[in-house]
Structure 1
Amino acid sequence: MPRVADHDQRRTQIARAFQRLLAAEGFAAVSFSRVAAEAGISVGLIQHYFPGKDALLRFAYDDAASRMGERVRVRVRNGEAARLPVAEVLLDSLAELLPLDAARDVEYRVRQGLQAQALHQPVLADVARRAGRDLLGYVTTVIESGVERGEVEPGVDAVLAARTILATVQGLADQLALSGADAFPAREVLRRVVATVFTGRHGARER
């Protein structure tokens, strides 16, 4: 009997091929035959694991989000080990959402592909909303930690501040995707926005 790990590896192989094509050509241009050719497998095998493009997009999004989440967790662990200010840890974490290299550019395009389809597909909309809630919850928690550490003034609306920061991240990501990672100092822009919230004794240091 095939092991569960084998099935997971095959799904991931298909999802990564789908991600590469989606990033390069957009959702409408991607077909199962194209994904099969990219992954080096048969169309029938893809259909065995995914009944349609929406199911594949959902899995591909979760895969991209999982990789992104792991990088964020690494940033948090490293920041805590180095005893960095909370603002600096948040800045490093949020930078993982920006398409500043090839891997993050693919993840950004997968997220955008999901969100575009989510406008018409309730199942995908649920995935997008869940991802948004998780990210908002993370940033809100970090800001609340900043209050406890004296980096954020007491009384700051953590949820509103988190939404403001995330809106900036999304805008920066959109601009970078269209203009290129070197078009402008995105990290510096993000640092300044974070600094408007983290106004206490520490802030996001320039690097």
Structure 2
Amino acid sequence: MKIFSLLKLTLLTIILFAVIYPLAIYGIAQFAPNQGKGETISVNGKVVGYQKIGQKFDKSNYFWGRPSAVDYNAAGSAGSNKGPGNAEYLALVQKRIDTFLIVHPYLKKSEIPSDMVTASGSGLDPNISPEGALIQVKRVAKERKLTEDKVKALVESKINTAVVGPETINVLELNVALDQLSKKGSAKGSEVLSQ
């Protein structure tokens, strides 16, 4: 008799958590923006990315985002789980600093904001600090053959202020606007986010 009670409980649990719960969440998602499929960013009707998920930008004519411990794989969101005293972690951060300084020779190590050389807890942070974007203006302007003032003004126009928390800039939104600015000025640009 106990086996039938356990089988009933198992069947009830499967129905509840594998059928009813997912359907309920799906139903609730239909009232969310974009029916729960995420907030996308589109250019000319084509989805180029998600507003809340970071993606890799490593070409010199784009603004770079935060490094990712999972190589921007949204299916495997995670941090590095290494503490600030871990030798391997410190070596990785130093390598990121060295790479950043090679591409930005006009900077000193002390001028690099920490968000440009350390990964976020999720590995998918779509935002950087305004300082992280502003230190890249010179490189991006040179690559795009735009004036630094124009690129700096674009960065400043993309700063998101929050009631609580620091100011941020969504890297994908910034790079989409950068492509549009390059097209307007017929400067050296790229096809829209051909990363």
Query: What is the TM-score when the length of structure 1 is the normalising length?
Result: 0.27
- Please tell me whether Structure 1 or Structure 2 has the larger radius of gyration of its CA atoms: 2
More helix by share: 1
